[in-house]
Amino acid sequence: MDGVTDYVFREIITGIAKPDVMFTEFTNTEALCSRGYEKTIPRFRYAAKQHPIIAHIWGTEPKNFVTVAKLVKDLGFDGIDINMGCPVKDVMKMGCGSALINNPTLAAAMIAAVKEGAPGLAVSVKTRLGVKTIVTEDWIRFLLDQHLDAITIHGRTAKELSRVPAHWDEIGKAVALRDQYAPDTVMIGNGDILSREQAKNVHAMYGVDGVMIGTGIFQNAWVFEKTPKEHTGSESLNLLLKHAKLYTDTYPGERRFVAIKKYFKIYVRAFPGATTLMKKLMEIKNFSEVEALIRLHLE
């Protein structure tokens, strides 16, 4: 969800159907400990109503995890989540993300560094089932030995990306390991969950304490509603306008407007004229053009 769960998008989701816990974007510790600080620190912007919110970090050097953990605690976050699951090749080549599954020594050093930098703050890890093959028992047992507050498991290997159905049976095995070796660790499952009903089902079937929804938000902006209901095309388009306006106001001259187009598919779907409208939206260059096009469609 890098480049997706930024401050603006979290504000939009908070306003309509807030999840129980929110995570920041994938934020690099090396950048925060170098000349890249000013460009990177906006990833840690949040509003009070977004609490509880977790700072999601990644990097290569444990010493930088100490520094960033101190920063995260000073900024008032509710916890720190270490990424050990990103399957992107460029990230893994650096020894980060899912590559840490094959380097438990470094993984342990990163976890210890975060605890050193932010004593008392909740520490969690988001990971996968393996790199090329599933290694649930060895890897999850190792993580449980690190005395983490929570572990989020995406039910695929790095090699599988999102090309196969999530292996929820393996997530269930991880829960059983938790029950045996570290019963106080919160276990969160992730993968292919598109509704609150599905989340309840996997909770009942596999025993996870919680469910993380990532890309499922692209299917339904209201996915975290406590009482799910139908939403009209007009509601979706007005929410698109609100998102685009807040984006424009928040990042004047900082981010190219084209970057917001990745969100349009959340709002423009399943109503008459959606396909044509989407094609036109992908050609616009600024908020004024978006507003004019949406207003015309609504009329």
Annotated catalytic sites, by residue? Answer: 86
- End-to-end alpha carbon distance in the chain: 34
Q: What is the DSSP string of 152-183?
A: EEESS-TTTTTSS---HHHHHHHHHHHHHH-T
Beta bridge partners of 55: 80
Q: What is the DSSP letter of 242?
A: H
Is residue 140 within 8 A of residue 177, CB to CB? The reply is yes
Separation between Cα atoms, residue 115 and residue 209, nearest integer Å: 23
Residue of 155, 77, 142 whose CA lies nearest to 110: 142
Distance of CA 3 to the CA centre of its chain: 10
Given phi > 0 = left and psi -120 to 50 = alpha, else beta, which region is 74?
alpha
Residue of 9, 19, 16 whose CA lies nearest to 235: 16
Helix (H, G, I), strand (E, B) or coil at 18: coil
Separation between Cα atoms, residue 225 and residue 235, nearest integer Å: 15
Beta bridge partners of 122: 79
Is residue 145 within 8 A of residue 181, CB to CB? The reply is yes
